[in-house]
Amino acid sequence: MLSAERNQYLCGTDAGTPMGGLLRRFWAPILLSSELPAPDCPPVRVPLMGEKLVAFRDTDGRLGLIDEFCAHRGVSLWFGRNEECGIRCPYHGWKYDVTGQCVDLPSEDDSTGTRSRIKLKSYPCIEKAGVIWAYLGPPGQRPPEPALEWTEISPDQLFVSKRLQECNYLQALEGGIDSSHVSWLHGNAFKEDPLFTGSRGNQYNEEDRMPIFEIEPFDGGLLIGARRNGAEGHYYWRITPWIMPWYTIIPPRAGHPLGGHAWVPIDDHHCWAWSINYHPNRDLTEAEREAMQGGKGIHVTYVPGTFIPAANARNDYLIDREAQASGRLANGVEGIAMQDASLQESMGPIQDRTKENLCLTDAGIVATRRELMRAAQANLDGKLVKGLAAGDQHVRSAAVELPHDTNFVEGARHGLFAELGTEPLTV
């Protein structure tokens, strides 16, 4: 369990908090490129780590992320018109460029110098892998661009989605590194979902529901190994990298694409759950892409026109008690993503970790909390923060059978730290 103070330390992400300061040191995925599809398209609200921002793509295609509210009377610039390399407030016509600088003030004579003094808060943005990223940290400490494996491959090898999750980022992240729950919550789903079927790992998950966890650090975070009994003389290892600060890479199954997540805070009670599928050495098939678009695997279907899952708290996640009673669905909720999200959201907006009772299978969760707190303190102290260098992100997950006497990192190293374009290590 955690004290209330430590729980708040880990969960608080507003500007000025220790964790908020740490998270702002990293590039954060904020939008799909398709949300700003063309120059001068409508702006998009971007709530991020307790800040209310608005993003737009100007006439020249440049990306802007600025304070949502006009410096004049506080009107939301989401209502603004994106035109001629700036977004114009509809109330009195004040206009701002992608840096937040006021470039037109129709109600004021230029000779006053007011326009040049007006500048909204702004953050730099980049576009990579069909995603728009923002950096909210100190200007002089901007890190290299994201270099996760899925950001370095062809668009034909990649599928990215996002959804709203109505809880703190940490309990979503902790679900992503918890390999013990898959035997219980997802067992039958792996037999039915086209993005997970056909793996020997499904059998091992079902037969051994008492995994042993081992944790190994690497330059970008932690390698979390979940060991189950495999073929004679072997263990089956699911190795999940947690990459600072919010990324997880899901161990693959058979020849299916790898999966991953980013859990990015909107505020302390909500986060964006980014879901990524990719294959490092081939294009995704039409059937795979159709399954992902249809909400299979780690993806969902939506309330039309939103990124809110169609199954959500307001409709009790469309729970099917008959399917639960029959044993087909452990919690009565369809879909791997919403099976996870429904339970994580059920803990409340911020889980009260003073009441939890952790056990041996929670070793990865404990280690991740410690690393986050250490990194936040290191950032406060002006020390080196791990995970910022591009090379720190060069890791992938693995699912592998290894002899009993083999260290899981050494036995799987060639798969975990593989060159781009090589086959994933999986069974």
pLDDT tens-digit readout, 267-285 = 999 999 999 999 999 999 9
Three state DSSP letters for 13-62: CCCCCHHHHHHCCCCEEEEEHHHCCCCCCCCEEEEECCEEEEEEECCCCC
366 pLDDT more than 90: yes
Which of 25-29, 185-189, 420-424 is the most confident on average? 25-29
Using CA atoms, how far residue 241 sits from 217, 255, 287, 371, in Å, is 9, 19, 27, 13
Res 111: pLDDT: 75
Contacts of range 144-147, beta carbons closer than 8 Å, 24 or more positions apart: 144/388, 144/389, 144/390, 145/27, 145/390, 146/27, 146/393, 147/390, 147/391, 147/393, 147/394
Half-sphere exposure of 405 toward its Cβ, with a 13 Å CA cutoff?
0
Tokens of 10: 């880990």
The residue among 344, 279, 352, 259 whose CA lies nearest residue 309 is 344
Write down the pLDDT at residue 80. Answer: 98
pLDDT attached to residue 109: 78
The predicted pLDDT at position 140 comes to 92
Chain Cα centroid distance, residue 107: 43
Provide φ and ψ at 264, rounded to 5°: -110, 120
Gyration radius (Cα) of the chain, Å:
23
- Beta-bridge partner residues of 82: 87
Looking at residues 296-311, what average pLDDT do you find?
97
- For residues 251 and 120, the answer to whether their CB atoms sit within 8 Å is no
Give the separation between CA 274 and CA 279, rounded to whole angstroms: 17
- The CA-based angle 155-218-408, given to 5 degrees, is 95
Domains plus CATH for the chain?
Answer: 34-134 (2.102.10.10), 149-416 (3.90.380.10)
Q: Which of 291, 54, 262 is nearest to 162 (CA)?
A: 262
pLDDT at 201: 84
Residue 357 one-letter amino acid: N
- Per-residue pLDDT for 187 more than 80? no
Q: What's the rounded Cα separation, in Å, for the pair 259 and 88?
A: 40
Tell me what pLDDT residue 173 has: 97
pLDDT in tens, 326-340: 999 999 999 999 999
Chain centroid offset of residue 68 CA? 23
The answer to whether 298 touches 312, Cβ cutoff 8 Å, is no
pLDDT for 345 equals 98
Q: 366: which 2 tokens? A: 């404990």
High-pLDDT (> 70) share of the chain, %: 100
Place of tokens 């940290």: 137
String of b and e for 50-69 (b: at least 16 CB within 10 Å)? bbebbbbbbeeeebbbbbbb
Mean pLDDT within 125-152 = 97
Q: Which residue has the tokens 């980013």?
A: 262
End-to-end Cα, the chain, rounded Å: 35
Q: What's the rounded Cα separation, in Å, for the pair 116 and 101?
A: 7
Q: What is the pTM of this model?
A: 0.96
Q: Decide: helix, strand or coil at residue 318.
A: helix
379-398 pLDDT tens trace: 999 999 999 988 899 999 99
- The answer to whether residue 252 scores a pLDDT higher than 90 is no
| Position 382, amino acid | G
| Type of residue numbered 178 | D
Tell me the Ramachandran region of residue 50: left when phi exceeds 0, alpha when psi lies from -120 to 50, beta otherwise. left
User: Interior CA angle at 216 toward 343 and 248, to 5°?
Assistant: 40
Nearest to 209 by CA among 234, 182, 230: 182
Q: Angle at the Cα of 96 (from 110 to 111), degrees rounded to 5?
A: 5
